C-alpha cells in the first residue's frame, strides 16, 4: 500500500467544539455512572503504555477523533499520533501510542476503537469504489443514509477515502424528490417555486426517473439532475440530451459490480448510500506496549 491516498480531495475535520460535544455524549453512553471493571481492578495511579494498531490493511478515518477520546476523558493521558486520516496503511501499522493512567485508558478504549474501526471501514470501502471508476469523469459522492448522530464523522470518512460529500443536511441544498413534485403539481412548478426564494449560492437538484422528466427539469432551470434508478442505456441518453448544460447525478442501487458501467455513461456524480450505510468495521486493536 502507498502511504498516502492520492484520491483524497480535502478531508475535513469537525470543529473541536463540536467534536468534544459528541465525544462527551459517546463516553457518557458507554461509561454510565462509572467503569465498574476498571474501578474495582485497577489502582487510579497505575501507569501504562498501549499502542493502537491496524490488524488489516485499510484507509484510515476517525484516528484524530479516537486520539481525542483519550485526552478528553483524562487530560493526563499522552497520545502520540503516528498516522493520519486519509492515509493507507498495512496490517501491523502502529497508529497511536498512548501513555497514562491505565484505568483511564481502558475506560476510554472502546469508544476510541469504535470510532476508528467504523470510520476506517467507510473510508476503505470508499477507496475501493473510487478505484473502480478511475479514469472516468465521474465523482463518487455519499448520501444522507448515515447513522443518526454520526453523519458528520461518516461524511468525513468518505472524504478520507477519496469521495465527495453530497448534502450534509436538509438545509444544505434543495433536492426536489418525487413526493415534493407530486405535492407541487409538476417539476416546472416545483423548480420555479424553489428558485424564487432559494439562497443565491444554493443549488436546486431534481430527481428524475424518466427521460421526459429530465427534459422538463432541464427546461425548468434545474442546476443538477438526479437520474434515479435508470438503466445504463437511459443514463447514456440523458447524458446526450443534457449535453453538459447541467450536472448529472446517477443514483439508486449502485454496487461495486455496476459502478464502472454507470461511470462510463458520462455522468458527473454517482451517489452510493451503501458506503456509509453498509461498510463493515475494520479490525483495529489496542495492545499493551510493555
Handedness of CA 113, 118, 123, 127 (dihedral sign): positive
Quick check: is 155 catalytic?
no
Q: How far apart are CA 160 and CA 52, in angstroms?
A: 19
Query: Which residue is catalytic, options 177, 210, 245, 255?
Result: 177
**Three-state DSSP class for residue 52:** strand
145 is catalytic: yes
Cα pseudo-dihedral 260, 265, 267, 268, rounded to 10:
60
Annotated catalytic residue: which of 49, 110, 144, 164? 110
Q: Which of 109, 207, 216, 268 is catalytic?
A: 207
Tell me the angle at which helices 102-132 and 16-31 cross, rounded to the nearest 10 degrees: 120
* b/e per residue 254-285 (b: at least 16 CB within 10 A): beeeebeebbbbbbbbbbbbbbbeebeebebe
CB atoms under 10 Å from CB of 150, counted, come to 19
In the 3-class helix/strand/coil scheme, how is 93-149 assigned residue by residue?
Answer: CEEEEEEEEHHHHHHHHHHHHHHHHHHHHHHHHHHHHHHHCCCCCCEEECCCCCCCC
Task: Give catalytic status of residue 110 as yes or no.
Answer: yes
DSSP 36: H
- Residue 68 is a catalytic residue: no
Task: Spot the catalytic one: 99, 228, 249, 268.
Answer: 228
**CA distances, 89 to each of 95, 96, 106, 136, 269 (Å):** 9, 13, 25, 26, 28
Any idea which residues carry the catalytic annotation? 110, 145, 177, 207, 228
Amino acid at each position: 500500500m502507498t502511504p498516502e491516498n492520492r484520491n483524497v480531495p480535502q478531508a475535513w475535520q469537525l470543529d473541536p467544539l463540536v467534536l468534544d460535544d459528541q465525544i462527551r455524549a459517546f463516553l457518557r453512553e458507554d461509561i454510565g455512572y462509572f467503569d465498574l471493571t476498571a474501578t474495582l481492578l485497577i489502582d487510579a495511579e497505575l501507569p501504562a503504555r498501549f499502542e493502537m494498531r491496524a490488524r488489516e490493511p485499510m484507509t484510515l478515518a476517525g484516528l484524530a477523533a479516537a486520539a481525542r477520546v483519550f485526552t478528553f476523558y483524562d487530560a493526563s493521558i499522552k497520545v502520540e499520533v503516528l498516522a493520519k486520516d486519509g492515509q493507507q496503511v498495512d496490517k501491523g501499522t502502529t497508529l497511536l501510542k498512548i501513555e497514562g493512567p491505565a484505568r483511564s485508558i481502558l475506560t476510554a478504549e472502546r469508544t476510541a476503537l469504535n470510532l476508528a474501526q467504523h470510520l476506517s471501514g467507510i473510508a476503505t470501502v470508499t477507496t475501493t469504489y473510487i478505484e473502480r471508476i478511475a479514469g472516468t469523469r465521474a465523482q463518487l459522492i455519499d448520501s444522507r443514509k448515515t447513522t443518526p448522530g454520526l453523519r458528520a464523522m461518516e461524511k468525513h470518512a468518505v472524504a478520507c477515502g477519496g469521495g465527495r460529500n453530497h448534502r450534509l443536511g436538509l438545509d444544505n441544498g434543495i433536492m426536489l424528490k418525487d413526493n415534493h413534485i407530486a405535492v407541487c403539481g409538476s417539476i416546472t412548478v416545483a423548480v420555479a417555486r424553489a428558485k424564487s426564494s432559494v439562497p443565491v449560492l444554493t443549488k436546486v437538484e431534481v430527481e428524475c426517473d424518466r427521460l421526459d422528466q429530465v427534459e422538463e427539469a432541464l427546461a425548468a432551470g434545474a442546476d443538477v439532475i438526479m437520474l434515479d434508478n435508470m438503466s445504463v442505456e437511459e443514463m447514456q441518453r440523458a447524458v446526450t440530451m443534457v449535453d453538459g448544460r447541467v450536472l448529472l447525478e446517477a443514483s439508486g442501487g449502485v454496487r461495486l459490480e455496476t459502478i464502472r458501467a454507470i461511470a462510463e455513461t458520462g455522468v458527473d456524480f454517482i451517489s452510493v448510500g451503501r458506503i456509509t450505510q453498509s461498510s463493515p468495521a475494520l479490525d483495529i486493536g489496542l495492545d499493551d506496549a510493555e
